[in-house]
Chains A and B, each alone.
Chain A
Amino acid sequence: MTLQSRAGGITGRPKPVSAALLVSLVILGVILLVSPAIARSSSEPGTKSDSKCLKCHSRKRNKTLKDGDVLSLQVSKTEYANSVHGDIGCTSCHQAIAARKHPSRESIASKRQLSLTLNQSCRKCHAKNFKVYESSIHASLVAEGNLMAPLCTDCHSAHAIESMAVYQPVTGLPCKKCHENIYEAYAQSVHGGARANGNVIRDSHIQAPICADCHQAHGVTAVAASNYLQSTCLDCHPDASLAHRQWLPNAGLHLDVVSCAACHAPLAERRINLELYDNTAQLPVGQHNDHAQIKKQLHAIDETGAGLDPLELWNLVRANSEDGQETDITLRGRMEVSTGPEAHRLAIKAEAVRNCDSCHHKGSDAFQNVVVSITRPDGRQISYEADKEVLSSIMSVASVRDFYAPGGTRIQLLDVLLVLSLVGGLAIPLGHITVGKILKKRTKQGDQ
């Protein structure tokens, strides 16, 4: 039964006017529902002033900068209109521009300089994310004058801004743009593979992580800084601690001093990173004081530049401990993967290193590469090569006092003492028996 016939049934006659009204309302509703979508898909940006801007800027225009570089002033109408900023208006970001104040005659030093100036515009609307960004390793590199360090527009683009959620899970951009080798390694990892496979790992549907899930989108920290990455792993793998405790002796210690990737990227080259650490301040040396000074000191100690030997390393620790009277400086050891790309090539659980013998024996690959690191205030580390003997010298008792792997980093002098004790323990009985026999023989000869 239709609405019309039912209404007619009540009144006895049809009411075409009411039906027309109803149809009109439905059409209006549909128009209202779809109108934003139509607006978003149109190639016209939201405000009237934008049309004015784009009147010129949609055409091909260039500006020669002070450094000789050429800046394109062209903005794609469609891209901008379809971007998440499509309806906020050009002057929301280009605040220095008004009807009678157009900087076309002002010279621009360089593309980078322009981006640096405009970067501050983002802060106005995205204060929270901008603050997080300012604490990141990216912002730290920008402050250092690194021209490759990303500004907001390097990741989000200037005019074709999209929500990160739209494109990163598919392409790896924008991180891949600068960290391509790392992204390629990630793509081959269990995480990358799962993503390519529709987020399926071992027949289970799992939301596999991409760059920002582990490193954060805006607050990207130096990998060496704190145990941030390990806690990120444990966030998604909360049972990992317990699972390790089921079989791994001193599991808590292993989780502290062995990076997840050192075992879960089984083909990666590993190394021991000895970080100069201030036990008194509970901070890495260099993070709260002058790392450049320590850098100089390190160069002075390692005169030959061939890498720190056990004595030089001991001198470095001693020099820093004496410097501040009450400071207690030590070297915190950590096993990690030698390179960033290798650290991202995480394998499936079944392929992870589970054989203790792989590290706990003399000559293990894990202890062939040793670096000594000073941590900069932003968390990045400056690493210097060290002789692998620093881990097995008797001087390590004083210098590398907080890092020890039974079997793998055993002190050679103690091996000598063990041999002496074995020889002595066998020589005493044998010598005593021999002396006894000689004396008995002489006594017999004397009696005869």
Chain B
Amino acid sequence: MQTTYADHFRHGDNYINPLPVRIWHWVNALGFVLLILTGFQLRYMDLFRLLSFEETVKLHNWTGFVVIANYFIWLSFYLFTDKIKVYHPELDAKKFFSDSFRQIRFYSYGIFKGESSPHRVSPYDKFNPMQMVAYQVMMLVVVPIQFTTGIMMWDVKRFGNWIELMGGIRVVDTVHVLIFILFVFFILVHAYMGALGQKPSTHFKEMFTGYEEKD
């Protein structure tokens, strides 16, 4: 029988992922997959050809703009709600390293022994210390750089001065491709780690319902 939201509430499940976060996440996920596929085709037309170059450019550009707009859903949600706490960095270095070490130990050993994750998820403490750093860097540095370089290449003439400031179109493209390569790696590892909940489907369900099911 399907679990309803009322059931989650009755069970005292944590409401981890509010609606704006879930919308952002899945639009972002679909957008990233499309951007990676179209980006791959733009770069490797000789190996991979689903659409014409012209159609691929259009699809890549439009998807890019949707993902950029979507980013602002994420940014606005966290800027204007107290949920931003989930991204507050751990300033106690000792605690950060000891928590990180416990998390690494869990993923490399404890998980196979049936241990529970050392990090207990709650609405204001969603990420383990390594996740938090990774997502902060990703969302505040890497993703904006990718958007910026993508916009520059969308209209090279219009952003000519900015491109020149960055060192030329080759630099802009190389940065864009390096981040694309990082995203290819990230999306594979991210999808796998998403399957490392209590059950392989646990975290995926969380991202659809918003609730973390209690053990």
Contacts and interface: CB of A to CB of B under 8 A. Distances in A.
Interface of A: 247, 249-250, 252-253, 256, 279, 330, 355-357, 360-363, 396-397, 400-404, 406-407, 410-411, 414, 417-418, 421-422, 424-426, 428-429, 432, 435-436, 439-440, 443
A148 B186 CA distance: 66
Q: How would you classify the secondary structure of chain B's contact residues: helix, strand, loop or mixed?
A: helix
Contact of A249 (B44, B57, B109, B192): B57
B43 A406 contact: yes
B10 interface: no
Contacts of B111: 436
A323 B167 CA distance: 20
A355 B155 CA distance: 20
Contacts, number: 112
Interface in B165-215: 167-171, 173-174, 177-178, 180-182, 184-189, 192
Given A356-B52, A357-B52, A357-B53, A250 B155 contact: yes
A29 to B, nearest CB: 64
Nearest to A358: B53
Contact of B185 (A247, A250, A414, A424): A424
28 contacts: A250-B154, A252-B158, A356-B52, A357-B45, A360-B42, A360-B45, A361-B45, A397-B168, A397-B170, A397-B174, A401-B170, A402-B168, A402-B170, A404-B173, A406-B42, A407-B42, A414-B181, A418-B184, A421-B182, A421-B184, A421-B185, A425-B184, A425-B187, A426-B188, A428-B192, A429-B188, A439-B113, A440-B112
Contact of B46 (A362, A421, A426, A428): A362
Contacts of B156: 250, 252-253
Given A357-B45, A357-B53, A410-B43, A436 B112 contact: yes
Interface residues of B, number: 43
A401 B188 CA distance: 32
Prevailing SS type, chain A contact patch:
helix
B171 A360 contact: no
Contact of A407 (B44, B109, B182, B189): B44
B45 A404 contact: no
Given A397-B170, A406-B173, A425 B188 contact: yes
Nearest to B172: A404
Interface string B22-59: 00000000000000000000111110010011100110
B170 A396 contact: yes
A356 B53 contact: yes
A403 B192 contact: no
Nearest to A408: B45
A361 B181 CA distance: 19
Nearest to B158: A252
B104 to A, nearest CB: 12
Contact of B112 (A362, A396, A424, A439): A439
A422 B184 contact: yes
